[in-house]
Amino acid sequence: MNDDLSSLNFIATILASKWTLPVVYALKNRTKRYYELHQHLPKVSQKVLTSTLRHLERDGLVKRKIHPTIPPKVEYRLTPLGLEVFAMTQKVSDWAENNELVIQAKDLHFPPDKLSITQ
């Protein structure tokens, strides 16, 4: 049980960032330069995108390659672990899409005010 909770906490920590999954999805098909990523995700600030990429690199999901040119050319790609995370989240996304009506129907039986613990 503790191992399961540790694994879930680890997964939640990696995926908790608002921009982690959008960056993973942006890199799913090919290597991209920073500018391309920022164009693909226009709502993320440069500071947050840089921080997200650093965290993903630290966690082993993204590989950064710096080409020794002037100016430096920096590329990002998913690692095999990052591709596994993409595949896993794609399955969850597919599940949500396939069960969208069931998930939405729960509101008919359990309105939000009925779920409150502090009544």
**What does the pLDDT read at residue 103?**
75
Whether pLDDT at 76 is above 50: yes
SS3 31: coil
Identify whether the C-beta of residue 41 lies closer than 8 Å to the C-beta of residue 26.
yes
Residues belonging to the chain: 119
Place of tokens 């330069």: 33
Pair of tokens at residue 102: 């069931």
Dist. CA 16–CA 2, nearest whole Å: 20
Q: Is 24 left (phi over 0), alpha (psi -120 to 50) or beta?
A: alpha
Dist. CA 85–CA 116, nearest whole Å: 33
Higher pLDDT, 88 or 6: 88
**What does the pLDDT read at residue 44?**
94
Q: Which alpha helices (H) appear in 1-119, and where do they start and end?
A: 2-15, 20-26, 34-40, 46-58, 80-98, 100-109
Domains of the chain plus CATH, in order, are 18-114 (1.10.10.10)
Average pLDDT for 11-35: 90
**What does the pLDDT read at residue 111?**
64
pLDDT single digits (tens) 89-119 = 899 888 888 888 777 777 666 666 655 555 4
**What does the pLDDT read at residue 119?**
47
pLDDT single digits (tens) 42-74 = 999 999 999 999 999 999 999 999 999 998 899
Whether pLDDT at 34 is above 90: yes
